[in-house]
Structure 1
Amino acid sequence: MASDQESCFLCKEYLRDPVSIPCGHIFCSICLKTYWDHADYTGSYTCPQCRVSYNKRPTPRRIGGSRQSTLQRNSESFPPPPPSPDYNYAGPQDVGCDICIGKKHKAIKTCLMCLASYCEKHLKPHFESATFKRHKLVDEIGHLDRQICPQHQKGLELFCRTDQMCICVLCTVKEHKGHDMVSAEQERAEEQQRLGATQAEIQEKIHDRFKQMEELKQAVDSLKNSAQRALQECEKMFADMMRSIERMQQEMAKLISSNKRAALSNAEGHLERLTHEIADLKRRDNEITQLSRTEDHIHFIQTYHMLIAQTEAEELPTVSVNPYFSFGPVNKAVSEMKQHLNEFSNDELVKVAKAVNKMTFCQLDESKKRRSVKSEEAAVYKSVPVKEPQHRDDFMRYDRPGRSSRGRRVSHQL
């Protein structure tokens, strides 16, 4: 709203006791009250300036402060305010009286014989004079040019069923001679019956659509609950499978560790025995060396036979080592287990996806679809066909972007 407004839109005078309404426009308090007092009869309250509608009568807000003081000072130099304006004058959205000269009053009735709209004052002859007794009055309507034949400038009273158009009496002489014609009133009565049947059909469709909408809402709620339960159960079962895999990993680690310890213990025992045997053999070697250097022939002969007898009597066991021993079979077994698990999981996921995709949540029954009366290109809602995944990579496309770290770990392990 412009801050330099000084005049009221209704009375066209300087604002007196200005008030504003929710849309921001400002009027004189008495002008706005009088305007909306007339609107109390219709129950529709609109802004006189911008025509914004309100469901109930708004409470005007008084303009205070320096602005009101200034407006009051400006108004002191002018004569007293004029009488309350007559809000029976036709506005931009109203039908004006065709008889009024200058500023037109609102029309309250339209005569279909005179093809003119009248205000309350100029309508009186239709009630007081017998000349207008047979004229038909209806509530005010605009665009009276639609009620006149464009060729003969006469009122449209008949309906040509052959050409499906409204005509005047003069049209029957030449342009529509010999056509199937009835009065507009008779055609209206017949079409009114068909309109009633059409309205009943539309209301039945509305009821049916509401029923389908409620069923769809319930199905959507059930779908959400089912999906939530399925997610929770899947998370629980995959967690159990992860714990089973972790237990298998722990058992495999125990197996490798126990075999490692047994092999190391056996090897350490053989190493200790070989160490003792090497030390004993070195001792004998030293004794033989010392014996070979002695000059006592008797001592040499006696000791020689004892050493030879001891050496020949002792047989040392041979320690054989497998240079190709490794835990490769364990890795191979785990690798084969992983491959079998991947193939199994892929097959099972594809089976589940196929089973789910075969179930249709909602779709249109094409056999009952009818062409729309208003448009031949009515929008048709169809269920989007889902391509069944054939491989694990296809199935993983259904994976949601925000999956948890646990889900990522399962996919890596599989």
Structure 2
Amino acid sequence: MRTMAGVELRKRSEVKPDLVLIGAVAALSALGLVMIFSATAPRLGAAGESRSSELVSQAVFVVLGVFVLIAASAISDRTWQSLAPMIYGIALILLLVVISPVGVVRQGAQRWISLGIIDLQPSEVAKPAVVMALALLLAPIEENRMRWFRVAKAVALAAIPAGLVFFQPDLGTALVFGFVTVVMLFVGGTSFRQIALVIVGAAIALVMALELGVLHDYQVNRLVGFLNTDEHSLSLNYNQNQSQIAIGSGGLFGQGLFGGTQTNLAFVPSQSTDFIFTALAEQLGFVGGALVLGLFAVMIWRMLLIANFARDRFAQLTAAGIAAMFAFHVFVNVGMTVGILPVTGIPLPFLSAGGSFYMSMMLAVGVVNSIWMRRVRPGQRPFTG
């Protein structure tokens, strides 16, 4: 039986991508382009603009994202491991730059750095960076041997970028970091007691933020409106009310592309970004929504399977962390649109419009695909943890 040291040299025919994972991502991306066009064309046309402007913009990012995925897949998972500290450091620098006078402010949020023809959103760079940095930190730990000092280091490693993102302000992305950290601590061997204390600490920090007035008024209003649905239904819950009306009006098969009254008449806000699932469910119905959720389920399942076949702890933790990141995005975004969670501004992977977000997600998929391409093969000895 060959050892891990002898696995580096492989036959070219053995190094193949995960076609199921790539296929799910391709299907979601294609559907995303269709829905972005369907959700925005009537509004843009009515405003005298090109009906396909948002479609063309997103299509460019999809093409670039394909190259990002290919490049990320070509890089060995062990090279990613060696690059993790540098990528994390670059992400922190970008997060500091974006909250400086250089950062671009839009709709009260300072989240972008202008690079001329495109704007970069550093919080999206930070997502895969934090996952790989946490994997590097937790990889040497044996199962059920997690020390409190290591837990504290992991929490701090994620809390620094989460704090910088929180003050942009971007509560949704900060919560992504928190969820991913908890999942990776669990996979890394942290005890339930330690994880429970981490969650309690995070909850206390959130309550303190509310009490100290750190949250912005619109963030507080979203929470208040969600917790007091009847009292604030016509004001604070307007977005969610319109979203639920749109989803309900979609029925089983939907009203057809360009046929969503709530979406195309602009009753639903942010149709191409945060509420893209609303547009999809209204126009393609329950069947379309179920198809999308099924594709996400397949994608996340493949990532967890890849984590199980990873050749070392770093690769396993990275794949699991990226799967957790996608799962959180999907659950929170869809939960927000159907009214079971408050509005947090978390986009839906591969469907929501946005260049930095799309390419960040494609980079993450590429890293997981790289892990699959260099996985433990039948007859080889897997890592012992």
Taking structure 1 as the reference length, the TM-score comes to 0.16
Per chain length, whose mean CA-contact separation is higher, i.e. which structure has more relative contact order (CA < 8 Å, sep 6+)? 2
- Which is helix-richer, 1 or 2? 2
